[in-house]
């Protein structure tokens, strides 16, 4: 059990030369059986385990991770959190996530470094401004903060941008979402892991799930390299590998697996204290506390399970950045990386029971899973504890494709997901 973090504990440890810090989660061997097993030790899986133990009192919970905690998309995103969505179903989901993020450092007693610095989606034409007005109105009706910005207001929050009216993507204004911002991605994974471990959850790393234990058509556990682990209920939160694992359980998912890349510049002095997304190029950028400009854009258009990006998209993302911030052309690129994202045709996630009883899904987050971690975990915990949907997750059930009840956020909010 790790100690409670406070200014006092930090001061005391400082005087002791920081020799008293202990590891904050155990490395247990898997037990033969659990009440619930969650596949995937990223943010969503760890959050689900935390809420399952904390809110639902489920005693025996395990998280199985094939690599290390947060080593997949949780550690590969651009750390942006936001709730600027169009449809009421999406707002209920993503605003739950943002509200949980707002109280998370206190809840977990772990600083996730949430910085609600605001995010502005920049438009480049009168037509795009009308779409921005539509989005801002929808957000306000759904109870989320949104403000339509003039070019002057964009200049006030992002003065380093290119405001030349003759540029390819001139600034006509945008939508301002003040509660959006960034959070420390590793901190989110580690905070949930620490919290879950303290509540008795077994977090088992380097333990890949190879198959499912299916008896009488019902999922009764998983088969891993470390042996068979029985479970009353199994949660699948493995992002792109959810589809690969679904095939083992005998069903398909409506996901397309693509590479999404991101990159950082060398660190510089503070120049950008918001998140900027330009609608014309899809490039978005923020500046980290270390001073690096963190940016990304659209997905690679070639279906891929390789965790690396191809040069054409790399080039177009950088071109988009330099159109918006010509001054950044002086910067050296320090790192570039990629994750593989499972994109659903309507750009909304898959949360709910799978076709195999006993197995529940939390995947299909596509390019926007990080911002949704607290809600994805919270809703998967509800599913695993109760065996049925919470009203917020019901619209995101796999059955929406047969019913034609898609929640098309790619068309609705018009922003990259």
Partner 1 sequence: MQLFPCPFCGTRDETEFRYLGEADTLRPAGGGAAPIAEWTRYLYFQRNVKGRVAEIWSHVPCGETFRMERDNVTHVVTGSASLRKESAS
Q: Does 21 bind partner 1 (CB under 8 A)?
A: no
Per the DSSP assignment, residues forming a β-bridge with 350 are 363
Q: Does 241 bind partner 1 (CB under 8 A)?
A: yes
Q: Does 257 bind partner 1 (CB under 8 A)?
A: yes
- Cβ proximity to partner 1, 22 vs 402, nearer residue: 402
- Cβ proximity to partner 1, 247 vs 319, nearer residue: 247
Q: Does 32 bind partner 1 (CB under 8 A)?
A: no
CA distance 277 to 173: 12
Please report, for residues 124, 175, 290, the alpha-carbon distance to residue 150 in angstroms, rounded to integers and kept in the order given.
11, 9, 30
**Max CA distance (Å), the chain:** 67
Per the DSSP assignment, residues forming a β-bridge with 149 are 174
CA distance 99 to 375: 9
Which range in 120-128, 138-146, 285-293, 303-311 contacts partner 1 by CB under 8 A? 303-311
Per the DSSP assignment, residues forming a β-bridge with 227 are 224
DSSP letters of 166-204? TSSS---EEEEETT-EE--HHHHHHHHHHHHHHTT-EEE
Q: Does 319 bind partner 1 (CB under 8 A)?
A: no
Q: Does 302 bind partner 1 (CB under 8 A)?
A: yes
Which range in 84-92, 185-193, 277-285, 297-305 contacts partner 1 by CB under 8 A? 297-305
- Cβ proximity to partner 1, 288 vs 310, nearer residue: 310
Pairing of strands 293-299, 284-287: antiparallel
**Distant-in-sequence, close-in-space partners of 325: CB < 8 Å, separation ≥ 6:** 160, 161, 162, 272, 285
Q: Does 355 bind partner 1 (CB under 8 A)?
A: no
Q: Shortest distance, CB of residue 242 to partner 1, whole angstroms?
A: 9
Per the DSSP assignment, residues forming a β-bridge with 212 are 222
Among 310, 353, 357, 394, binds partner 1 (CB under 8 A): 310
CA distance 389 to 360: 10
Q: Do the beta carbons of residue 380 and residue 192 sit within 8 Å?
A: no
Q: Does 387 bind partner 1 (CB under 8 A)?
A: no
Q: Does 301 bind partner 1 (CB under 8 A)?
A: yes
Among 204, 246, 285, 324, binds partner 1 (CB under 8 A): 246
Among 163, 353, 401, 408, binds partner 1 (CB under 8 A): 401
Q: Does 7 bind partner 1 (CB under 8 A)?
A: no
Q: Does 22 bind partner 1 (CB under 8 A)?
A: no
Among 10, 55, 247, 333, binds partner 1 (CB under 8 A): 247
Pairing of strands 181-182, 209-215: unpaired
The DSSP call for residue 22 is -
Q: Does 350 bind partner 1 (CB under 8 A)?
A: no
Number of residues that bind partner 1 (CB under 8 A): 23
Of 254, 242, 256, 246, the C-alpha closest to 367 is 256
Residues that bind partner 1 (CB under 8 A): 241, 243-244, 246-247, 252-257, 301-306, 310-312, 345, 401-402
């Amino acid at each position: 059990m790790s100690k409670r973090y406070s200014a006092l504990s930090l001061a005391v440890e400082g005087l002791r030369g920081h020799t008293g810090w202990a590891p904050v989660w155990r490395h247990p061997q898997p037990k033969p059986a659990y009440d619930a097993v969650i596949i995937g030790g990223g943010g969503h899986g760890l959050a689900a385990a935390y809420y399952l133990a904390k809110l639902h009192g489920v005693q025996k919970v395990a998280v199985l991770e094939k690599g290390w905690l947060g080593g997949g998309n949780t550690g590969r995103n651009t750390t942006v959190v936001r709730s600027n969505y169009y449809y009421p179903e999406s707002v209920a989901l993503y605003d739950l996530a943002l509200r949980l993020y707002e109280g998370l450092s206190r809840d977990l007693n772990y600083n996730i470094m949430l910085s609600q610095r605001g995010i502005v989606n920049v438009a480049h034409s009168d037509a795009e401004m009308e779409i921005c007005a539509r989005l801002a109105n929808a957000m306000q009706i759904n109870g989320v903060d949104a403000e339509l910005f003039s070019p002057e207001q964009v200049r006030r929050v992002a003065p380093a941008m290119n405001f030349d009216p003759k540029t390819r993507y001139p600034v006509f204004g945008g939508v301002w979402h003040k509660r959006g911002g960034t959070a420390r991605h590793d901190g989110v994974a580690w905070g949930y892991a620490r919290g879950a471990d303290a509540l008795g959850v077994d977090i088992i790393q380097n333990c890949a799930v190879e198959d499912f234990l299916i008896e009488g058509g019902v999922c009764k556990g998983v088969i891993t390299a470390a042996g068979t682990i029985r479970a009353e209920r199994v949660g699948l939160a493995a992002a792109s590998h959810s589809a690969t694992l679904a095939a083992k359980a005998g069903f398909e998912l409506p996901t397309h697996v693509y590479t999404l890349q991101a990159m950082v510049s060398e660190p510089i002095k503070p120049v950008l204290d918001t998140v900027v997304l330009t609608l014309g190029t899809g490039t978005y950028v923020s500046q980290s506390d270390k001073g690096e400009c963190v940016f990304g854009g659209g997905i690679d258009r070639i279906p891929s399970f390789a965790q690396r990006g191809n040069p054409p998209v790399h080039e177009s993302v950088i071109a988009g950045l330099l159109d918006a911030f010509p001054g950044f052309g002086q910067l050296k690129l320090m790192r570039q990386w990629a994750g593989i994202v499972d994109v659903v045709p309507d750009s909304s996630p898959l949360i709910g029971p799978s076709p195999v009883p006993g197995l529940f899904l939390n995947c299909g987050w596509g390019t926007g899973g990080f911002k949704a971690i607290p809600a994805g975990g919270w809703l998967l915990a509800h599913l695993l504890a109760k065996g049925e949907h919470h009203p917020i997750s019901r619209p995101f059930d796999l059955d929406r494709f047969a019913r034609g009840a898609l929640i098309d956020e790619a068309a609705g909010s018009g922003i990259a997901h």
